Amino acid sequence: MPPIKLAIIGAGPSSFYVASRLLSLLPQTSPQASQLKIHMYDRLWAPHGLVRYGVAPDHPEVKNCTHKFDGAAEDPRLRFFGNVSIDARVPYATHIPLSALLPHYTHLLIASGCTVPTLHPALPPSAHCVPALSLVHWYTQHPAAPPPPPLERLKHISIIGQGNVSLDVARMLLTPPSVLAKHDIPERVLAVLAASAVEHVSIVGRRGPHEAAFTTKELREMMALPDAALRPLVPALLAPPADGRPLTRQQTRTLQLLQKGSANGFGTTRKTWSLDFFRAPAGLAGPAHGEDTARLTLAHTMLDPSARAVPTGETSTLETSLVVTSLGHHADPATAWYEPALGHVRTVGGRVIDAAGRTMRNVYASGWAAMGARGVLASTMMDAYAVADVILRDAFPEEDVRTVNVGDVDVGAGAQTKGELGFAEDVLAKDVDVDAPPPEVEAAWRRGELTDYEDWKLVNAEEIKRGQQKGKERERMGREEALAFLEGIRPPRS
C-alpha cells in the first residue's frame, strides 16, 4: 500500500469526521495502519471550529460531538497544529503558505469552512450595522476579538435574516444573564449583557412564515424566553397557503407555534421581540443630529409564482439602535481553488475541480468549504464520511482491493481509475517522509508559536476546573490568556 499522508486545512467538525472515518477504516491493528498519517491545521489555537466558536452557549448538547473528536485525536497517527493559518493571512496566527505544505503530503483535504459573512448591498458595515458573526465571535471569545456591542445604550436591535443564527443572537440578547450564567459564556460577556438596555429585537425576513429558515426547535426556545414576549402577528400571516399547496411537517409546526404565541403575553414583560415578515432592507440612514437611533428603510415584499420575494413598491421606516445582518457566509477567497461564483471550492464527488474544470489528483474538500454554509452537524458528518470513503477508493484502485483490509467497507466499489477524468497537473508529492511535518511547521511548533492537541487538553481541563469553581459549564479563555497559561506550564519542545 502506498502511504496516505493527508494534510487537512481546518480543524472543525468536517475535518474531524473525515479523520475519524479514515482512522477507523484503517485501524491500528490493520497491516496498513502505519501508512496512514494525518496532519490537521487550523488558524485558531483551539480545535473544533464552529463547535467552539459558533454554537450558542446555551446549546451545550450540540457540543457532545467533541467526545468523538477527542477519540480520534488520541490516535498517534493524527497530529493537530493550531494557531497557524495556511494561505489566508489573519493577525492572530502564524502564516505558512500552502506551497510549503504540498511537497510533504500525498493527499490534501480542504475543510476550512465558510468564515466570511455575506453582507447586504444596502447595508454596508458601519457603527450602526454589524454582521451577526461579530456578535457570535464576541460572546464565544473568538481570536478575532471583535469589540463588545455597546448594549448599555441600545434599546432596539434589528436583525436582518430569519435563520437559526438570527434566533441565536436574539435569544442571547433577550435571555436574562442569570439564566445564561450556568453555561459556557465568559464572565466579561455576562457583565455586558447584565448592563444591556435592549428592550426590543426585530427579526426581519423578506419572505413569510411558510418560508422561514429557522427550525421549530429554535422558535420554541424563543417562545419560552422567561423575560420576553412575542409581538402578535397579523392573523392573515398565519393562514394556510392561498394556492392550497400542502404544508410540510416543519411548516405546520411553525404555524402552530406562531398561532399559540409566546409563553409570556405581549405587554407583560419589559423585553419584546417580533418577526417582521415580507420586509427587505433598502437602506440605512445614521442618526440625525441630537438623536441616537438610525433609520432602517424596509421595502415591502410579496412572493411571485416561483416563491421569490419581490418588492410591492411600498416602503416603511424602522427606527433602530443597531442593525445586525445575518445572511449567511462564504469561504475565504484566499482558500485554494476558491470559486467566486459559488462562494466555496468546486468539487465533484468530494474531489476538487480547478478553474479549468480538471480534477485535482488527491485533492479533496468537505463540509462547508465544499458545499457552502448550509446544513447541520448530522449532514456535515454524512458528507465527511462520504469524502473519506472517496479518499480510500482513490487510494485503493480496483486491482488492489483484494489485498487491502479496510474492515467491512468495499473501498473498491466505484473506484475512479486513471483516465476517466481529465486531471490537472499533480501538486502533491508521491515520495514523502510519512511522519515528519514540513520544516516550516516543525520550526514554528518548536518555537512555541503553534499549539497541539495536548495543549488543548490542558486548556480544556483548566477551563472546566474554573467553571466548576463558578458553578457553570466552563469559564473559557481567550487566545492570549490561553497561550499565556500554556507558556507557564508547558515543558520545552525538543
H helices of 93-245, in order, are: 98-101, 132-139, 164-174, 177-180, 187-194, 216-223
The domain boundary, picked from 327, 352, 382, lies at 327
**Rounded distance, CA 201 to CA 272, Å?**
7
485 contacts 477 by C-beta, under 8 angstroms: yes
The domain boundary, picked from 327, 348, 365, lies at 327
**Rounded distance, CA 249 to CA 58, Å?**
26
**Rounded distance, CA 463 to CA 363, Å?**
37
**Rounded distance, CA 398 to CA 43, Å?**
37
Q: Are residues 318 and 217 in the same domain?
A: yes
Task: Extract the C-alpha cell encoding 155.
Answer: 434599546
Q: Are residues 311 and 341 in the same domain?
A: no
3-class SS at 310? strand
**Rounded distance, CA 279 to CA 101, Å?**
48
Task: Extract the C-alpha cell encoding 294.
Answer: 438610525
3-class SS at 71? helix
pLDDT digits (tens, 9 = 90+) for 193-219: 999 999 999 999 999 999 999 999 999
- Sign of the torsion angle spanned by Cα atoms 206, 209, 210, 216: positive
* CATH assignment at residue 255: 3.50.50.60
Answer yes or no: is 102 a known binding residue: no
272 contacts 157 by C-beta, under 8 angstroms: no
Q: Give the pairing of strands 294-303 and 156-160.
A: unpaired
pLDDT band at 287 (very low <50, low <70, confident <90, very high): confident
- Sign of the torsion angle spanned by Cα atoms 392, 397, 403, 407: positive
For residue 186, pLDDT over 90 is answered with yes
303 contacts 141 by C-beta, under 8 angstroms: no
Per the domain annotation, does 478 fall within a domain? no
**Rounded distance, CA 247 to CA 1, Å?**
53
For residue 413, pLDDT over 70 is answered with no
Q: Are residues 363 and 308 in the same domain?
A: no
Q: Are residues 352 and 426 in the same domain?
A: yes
What is the number of structural domains in the chain?
A: 2
373 contacts 327 by C-beta, under 8 angstroms: no
**Rounded distance, CA 458 to CA 472, Å?**
18
**Rounded distance, CA 71 to CA 17, Å?**
11
Answer yes or no: is 86 a known binding residue: yes
Structure confidence at residue 155 (pLDDT):
97
Q: Are residues 403 and 426 in the same domain?
A: yes
**Rounded distance, CA 341 to CA 345, Å?**
10
The kind and range of the H/E element at 250 are helix 249-260
**Cα–Cα distance list, 113 to 11, 47, 126, 275, 385 (Å):** 9, 13, 26, 29, 16
For residue 408, pLDDT over 60 is answered with no
For residue 414, pLDDT over 50 is answered with no
At 141, which amino acid appears? Q
Task: Extract the C-alpha cell encoding 319.
Answer: 427606527
Per the domain annotation, does 11 fall within a domain? yes
Please tell me the least confidently modeled range out of 8-22, 80-94, 388-402: 388-402
Q: Give the pairing of strands 322-325 and 344-345.
A: unpaired
Sheet strands side by side (includes 309-320): 279-285, 294-303, 309-320
pLDDT band at 399 (very low <50, low <70, confident <90, very high): very low
- Sign of the torsion angle spanned by Cα atoms 158, 164, 167, 168: negative
The domain boundary, picked from 265, 292, 327, lies at 327
Answer yes or no: is 231 a known binding residue: no
Per the domain annotation, does 464 fall within a domain? no
Answer yes or no: is 14 a known binding residue: yes
Q: Are residues 132 and 232 in the same domain?
A: yes
Answer yes or no: is 162 a known binding residue: yes
Q: Are residues 272 and 136 in the same domain?
A: yes
Structure confidence at residue 404 (pLDDT):
44
Per the domain annotation, does 170 fall within a domain? yes
**Rounded distance, CA 51 to CA 56, Å?**
9
Q: Are residues 136 and 123 in the same domain?
A: yes
DSSP 449-490: -SB-HHHHHHHHHHHHHHHHHTTSS--PPPHHHHHHHHHHHP
- Sign of the torsion angle spanned by Cα atoms 360, 364, 368, 369: negative
Q: Are residues 301 and 362 in the same domain?
A: no
Per the domain annotation, does 354 fall within a domain? yes
Closest CA to 373 of 152, 133, 200, 145: 133
In which residue are the cell numbers 455576562 written?
A: 190
pTM: 0.93
For residue 243, pLDDT over 80 is answered with no
For residue 290, pLDDT over 90 is answered with no
For residue 137, pLDDT over 90 is answered with yes
143 contacts 44 by C-beta, under 8 angstroms: yes
Q: Are residues 162 and 292 in the same domain?
A: yes
Judged on CB neighbours under 10 Å (0-12, 13-18, 19+), 341 is: exposed
Per the domain annotation, does 409 fall within a domain? yes
* CATH assignment at residue 365: 3.40.50.720
Q: Are residues 319 and 227 in the same domain?
A: yes
Per the domain annotation, does 145 fall within a domain? yes
Answer yes or no: is 188 a known binding residue: no
Q: Are residues 173 and 252 in the same domain?
A: yes
- Sign of the torsion angle spanned by Cα atoms 331, 332, 335, 341: positive
**Rounded distance, CA 398 to CA 417, Å?**
8
Answer yes or no: is 379 a known binding residue: no
What's the domain range around 111?
4-115+330-451
Per the domain annotation, does 294 fall within a domain? yes
Closest CA to 9 of 108, 78, 76: 108
Structure confidence at residue 421 (pLDDT):
55
Answer yes or no: is 61 a known binding residue: no
The percentage of the chain sitting over the pLDDT mark of 70, rounded to a whole number, equals: 95
**Rounded distance, CA 89 to CA 97, Å?**
9
For residue 1, pLDDT over 90 is answered with no
The kind and range of the H/E element at 318 are strand 309-320
In which residue are the cell numbers 487510494 written?
A: 395
151 contacts 370 by C-beta, under 8 angstroms: no
pLDDT band at 244 (very low <50, low <70, confident <90, very high): confident
